[in-house]
Amino acid sequence: MRGTGRTVGGGWRGRIGLAALALVSVAACSQADAAAQSWAGRVVVSPAAFRIPGGKAAPADTAVLTQRGSSSRVGWNGNEAVLNQGNVNAADFGRRVAYPVDGKIYSQPLFVPGLRVDGKVHNVVIVATEKDSVYAFDADAAGQAPAPLWHTSFLVNGATPVKADSGVPCDSITPTFGITGTPVIDWANRTLYVIATMEVGGSVVDYMHAVDLSTGHDRMPPVQLEASVRGTGLGSRHGVITFSAHQEQQHMALLLDRGVVYAGFASYCDRGSWHGWILGYRASDLHRMVVYNTTPGGSAGGIWQSATGLEADSAGNIYFISADGTFDLASGGPDISDSVMEMRPRNGTLAVVDYFTPFYQACLNKDDQDYGSGSPLLLPREIIAIGKEGAIAVLSRSHFGGYHTISSPCAHINRTDVDRVIQELPPGTVFGGVWSAETTWSGPSGQYVYTAGEADHLKAWKLVRGQVVTPAASHAAEVMNYPGGIPVGSSHGSDPASAIVWNIDQEKGPALRAYAAGDLADELYNTKQDASRDAIPGYDNFCVPTVADGRVFVGTKGELIIYGLLK
C-alpha cells in the first residue's frame, strides 16, 4: 500500500492469486556485494530545517544495500563523513523523526541514496516488518513523520502473518512471524529481494519477492519456496527430506552473490523435524539454483547466526557457522553441525571447500551451546569465530583446521592446544557467550575487534599479528542483558576522531549507544541522556542499527527511528 492505503504490487498477485502462486516452482537469485559498508506526532525539531525538497542524492558510497553493509558482513562503514566524535553528543545529535509501521522490525534497515520515486530524487530507508510489509521512507525527513514513499503488504487474497505458538510451534517472536531476514538490494536493477512468511489456507508458506525499489511493485510473480534432498535423517520419507516452511524459520539476512539470492534457514524454537537449509534463487527470474541441507543423515544443524547473513568472498565462496546437531563430516559423512564452513556452489548444491569444528563439538551439542549463534568475522588472512560458549577461535583463511578431538573432550573443554588453529582462547573469554556478529576497525594505534557478549561488556580486543591480545584493550561500562548486542562501526577512513562503535542494548532499558572506537570507556552518546526526545520505546532481539550519511536508523517494535545531527 502507499500512504493512501492503496495496495501496490497487486498487478501480478491480482492476476494470479496465492493459490495459483503455490504451484509456481521454487526459485530465485541475484548478485554482488553491497556498495557501502561498510509517534508520529512528536515534533523533535523543525521539519523545514532538514528536508531536501528537490531531492539531493547522498554520495553513492553511503549506500547500505545488504545487512551489515557488505557480503562479508564486517559491519564497519568506513565512508561516514558526517558523524564523528565531536558532534555525536546529546546537544548536537538525536532523534529527527519516527515513522510508525504495522509490526515489529527484526531486519536491519537498508539505505538507498538518490532513488527516484514518483519523479523525484529521494534518499530512502527501507524496512520490513513481521506483518509482511515493506516500507520505503524519506530518510531526510525530520519532525512530523510524512507518509511513506510507498508501502507494500504481501498479505493478499486472505493470507495472514503466521501466529506464534499456533501457526508454528514457537513464540520467540510475538505475536506473529512475517519478514524476519533482512532483504537485499540489487542496485544495478533497482530490485529488492525479500522472503515473506505467511499462512495461506491454513498452511505456513514462504514466498520470495523481487520488488521494484521505486514503486514497491513485484517485478515478477513471487515464488513459493520448495525443495528436497536425498537423505535418511529426521523427517525423511522413502529416502527424501522435504523442506517445510512450517519447520524451518527464515531468520538470516539474504545474500546476493553472482546473480543468486541465498537464504539460510534454521528451526522454530528447535521443535519438530528440522534441519539447516540453504536455498539459492536466480535473481533475474527467481528460478531455484541451489539446494543444500546441513544434516541429511541426521538432524538439526540450523543456520541462523543470530540473524546475520551468509557471507561471500570475491572468489564466490560462501561462509557460515552451523548450529547444534549431527556431525560426521570428519569421518566422511554429510552432516556438518557446529562447524565454520567455507563452501562453493556446484551442481545445484554447495560443496565443502574447508571447515573447522571445535574438538568439543559433542559437548556443545549435548548442552545446546550452538557454535552457530555467532557469525564468522572474515578478515583478509584470518577468520574469527565465537559461539555460545564464549571461546574465541582464530582460523587461517588458507587452512581452517578441520576436526581433531581427544578422549573425554567434555572433561577438558578449557584446553586450547587441541584444535589446529592459529589461536584459541577458552570458553568464557567472552562472558556469557555470543548471540551476535563482531566488527573490526584499523586505526593509527592498530586493529581492534569488537565483541558484545551476553552478560558481558562491549569490548575492544587488540589484534596483533593475527592473534587476539588479552585482556581486552577497553570495554564499555554497561553489562549487557541477553542477548547482548550486535555492534557496528563508522568512521571516515582510518581517522581516529571519526571512529565510533554503535550498539543497542537492554541494560536498564533499551538504548542506542555510541562509543569512541579507540576507548570504549568513552561513551559519546546514548538515547537516555535526553529521553524525552530520543528514547527507544522497545526493540527486538538481534536488532542492528544502520549508520549512513550522517544518520542512524533503528527498527523498533512499532516504528523506525532516524537519529542524526540536530543543526
Give the pLDDT band (50/70/90) at residue 13: very low
For residue 32, the number of C-alpha atoms closer than 13 Å in the C-beta half-sphere is 7
Q: What's the one-letter identity of residue 260? A: V
In the prediction, which pLDDT does 11 show? 36
Q: What percent of the chain has pLDDT over 90?
A: 87
Local structure of residue 478 (DSSP, 8 states): P
For 498-535, write each residue's pLDDT tens digit.
999 999 998 888 999 999 999 999 999 999 999 999 99
Cell of 232: 535418511
Give the pLDDT band (50/70/90) at residue 167: confident
Cell of 361: 563439538
Give the pLDDT band (50/70/90) at residue 50: very low
Tell whether the model's pLDDT for residue 140 goes beyond 80.
yes
CA pair distance 72, 445, nearest whole angstrom: 24
Residue 120: other Cβ atoms inside 10 A: 13
For 458-500, write each residue's pLDDT tens digit.
999 999 999 999 999 999 999 999 999 999 999 999 999 999 9
In the prediction, which pLDDT does 55 show? 55
CA pair distance 236, 227, nearest whole angstrom: 13
Check whether the bond before 471 is cis (ω within 30° of 0): yes
Residue 494: other Cβ atoms inside 10 A: 12
Q: What's the one-letter identity of residue 196? A: A
For residue 310, the number of C-alpha atoms closer than 13 Å in the C-beta half-sphere is 32
* CB contact at 8 A, 547 and 514: no
For 217-263, write each residue's pLDDT tens digit.
999 999 999 999 999 999 999 999 999 999 999 999 999 999 999 99
Average pLDDT over residues 101-117: 97
Local structure of residue 6 (DSSP, 8 states): -
For 419-465, write each residue's pLDDT tens digit.
999 999 999 999 999 999 999 999 999 999 999 999 999 999 999 99
Tell whether the model's pLDDT for residue 64 goes beyond 70.
yes
For residue 477, the number of C-alpha atoms closer than 13 Å in the C-beta half-sphere is 11
Average pLDDT over residues 289-295: 98
Q: Output the 3-class SS for 230-246.
A: ECCCCCCECCEEECCCC
CA distances from 339 to 217, 241, 350, 373 (A): 39, 22, 15, 11
Tell whether the model's pLDDT for residue 100 goes beyond 90.
yes
